[in-house]
Amino acid sequence: MKLKRRNKVAAEFNMSSMTDIIFLLLIFFIITSKFTPEPILKVLLPKGSKSTTVKQTIRIEVSNELEYSIDNEKVLLDRLPIALNEALMTNPGATVSIHGDKRVNYEKVMELVYMVNEMGGKPVLALKPVTKK
């Protein structure tokens, strides 16, 4: 009597353990990856130097009655470009901080920004910090 041997290899492969491993790896990479938002503008920043220099700030204020002052000295509107040019000559490379009253027409404030920019200054609009309640 001849006995038949069954040497058939099952062609089935259980994928459930493989999917578990793949999902564990996926979760691991998601947790360990750093989510950084893509920058809107790609800007190459210059490298800083070890020495820090404090630059002067010129303060221009505009009241709601359109009265101007440069560094706490009142200036008439027609004399404003001359006084601003003198302040920029005495402090080259200074930042010009423009403080406009919230009730003033900001078209006048923007005229100041353009004036400072044309004279070679660095205009900055000053804002009151928001306080949390």
What is the residue range of 107's domain? Answer: 57-125
What DSSP element (H or E) covers 98? strand 95-100
pLDDT tens for the chain, 133 residues long, are 666 777 777 667 777 788 889 999 999 988 887 766 665 556 555 665 555 555 678 888 888 788 888 888 888 888 988 998 888 888 877 888 888 887 888 788 888 888 888 888 888 887 666 555 5
- Count: domains in the chain: 1
13 inside domain = no
pTM above 0.85, yes or no: no
94 inside domain = yes
24 inside domain = no
41 inside domain = no
Residue 100: strand pairing partners: 62
Q: Sort 104 into a burial class: Cβ within 10 Å, 0-12 / 13-18 / 19+.
A: middle
For the domain that residue 81 is a member of, what is the CATH number?
3.30.420.270
Sheet holding 73-75, edge to edge: 73-75, 68-70, 57-62, 95-100, 122-125
